[in-house]
Structure 1
Amino acid sequence: MARTTVRRVVTGHDREGRARVVDDREVEPITSELMPGCAIYRLWGRDERPTFPDDGSPHPAKAYYPPRDGSRFMINTFPPGELVPPPDLDRAAASAELERQMPGAMARMEPDAPGMHTTDSIDYVMVVAGEATLELDDGEQTVVRAGDVVIQNGTRHAWRNDGTEPCTIVGVAIGADRTPASAPRPVGRS
């Protein structure tokens, strides 16, 4: 996959409260040989609820997924088929690099179910190119195509690309609470 950038324009308020463009730059994708062909853009996030006026400066967004009242904005592109790392890959080094770029993301992934994960967030996702298969924890699969929207309510799920072209999804994740009674249980366990 060709390495591309996404232009991000950020607004804020000046000292008099007037709206201004405070940042305009290209954002490079996160890539990893652990996920060949994928490009993940962390475009914006914060770990607390916003208050305005705001000068538009970046706020802390430490972990890849948001905490309660936090939010994340991202674009993910993934190729068709199974993601197979090169056989000679130094997995420990690649995992450490991915943890640096996407803190906590890999810890959410289930080691015995590739791609399957659960987050404490509501995610608003739109497919903007290609198609993806949303797989839920009971094996239910739903194909979504360009223009389709998924409201992901903190459920255990995985994204797959069983199509013939790369799939690009745009998502906003907003941190939520999970009650102990609703904590996810991996399939086959009680």
Structure 2
Amino acid sequence: MAAKTLPNGLTNIHRFITTHDQSGKAVFSDAVAPEAKWDEIGKTSGFNFFLGYTTSNFPTSMKPSDEKDHKSEHEDIVSYKQHLETPPGLCVSSGTVCRFVDFAPGATPMMHRTASLDYGVVLDGTVECILDSGEVRTMNKGDLCVQRATNHAWKNVTENGGWARMMFVLVGAEPPVVGGNTLGEELGAAADGIKSSD
């Protein structure tokens, strides 16, 4: 499958989902087309989203949605397809989200907190992780940030005005309690159409 270049100069992503055939052998599912469809959410703020996969419960149920018909779609794939039709907020409180985000050069950083444990990996470019305390770390390709429900923002600082791309895996978590206060989700003013998580 040939890689297609997006208008921002980055390569489009393909998502391949595996499953089992009736004999128990691993095969690729054709339930969802592999080529990424980038969400319109946040484009005016300078970032594009691709919802790579979601789950809605833990542990994840991968059994057929109709247990009498093993050819029926599996519960996690059905749930993901529903999220593709009606995207969730930044995280799914009872499950997981795998999301890719492309950051435009000069995009306004969006300070926010999710009630989740997040793994963020830089795939292209250079990105600053900015915390509400004022601390900043510069992340290069391959670097990982573990966000533990903290208030933070991402800033693309790629040389020569290039786009940056990160992949995030968000795992639903109990909100932290600091100084007797429960710190829930906070979406900043720059959230531009991103809805609250469920």
> What is the CA deviation profile of residues 59-95 of structure 1, one whole-angstrom value per residue up to 9, with x for unaligned ones?
1545233333310111111122134xxxxxxxxxxxx
Q: Pairwise mapping of residues 13-162 of structure 1 onto structure 2 (< 5 A)?
A: 13-23=20-30, 24-31=33-40, 32-36=42-46, 38-49=47-58, 50-53=60-63, 55=74, 57-59=77-79, 60-61=82-83, 63-83=88-108, 115-162=110-157
Please give the TM-score of this superposition, normalised by the length of structure 2.
0.68
User: TM-score, normalised on structure 1?
Assistant: 0.70
Contact 1:5–1:29 at 8 Å: present in 2 too?
no
1:103 corresponds in structure 2 to none
Distance 1:115 1:151 in 2: 17
Residue 47 of structure 1 contacts residue 70 of structure 1 at CA under 8 Å; is this kept in 2? yes
Question: Is 2:44 aligned against 1:2?
Answer: no
Taking only aligned residues, the RMSD between alpha carbons, in angstroms, comes to 2.5
CA contact (8 A) 1:130 1:145 kept: yes
Deviation at 1:150, TM superposition (A): 0.6
Structure 1's consecutive aligned runs of 4 or more residues displaced over 6 angstroms after TM superposition are none
Tell me the equivalent position of 2:70. Answer: none
In structure 2, relative to structure 1, the CA distance for the partners of 1:21 and 1:118 (3 Å cut) is: same
Q: Distance in 2 between matches of 1:142 and 1:182?
A: 27
**Greater shift in the superposed pair: 173-182 or 160-169:** 173-182
**What whole-Å deviation, never above 9, does each CA across 1:119-153 have from its counterpart, x for those lacking one?**
01111111111111111111111111111111111
Work out which of the residue numbers 169, 175, 179 in structure 1 matches 2:166. Answer: 169
User: What is the number of equivalent residue pairs in this alignment?
Assistant: 155
Distance 2:36 2:107 in 1: 26
Percentage of matched positions with identical amino acids: 24
Change (3 A) 1:179 1:159: closer
Equivalent residues of 1:47, 1:66 under 8 A apart: no
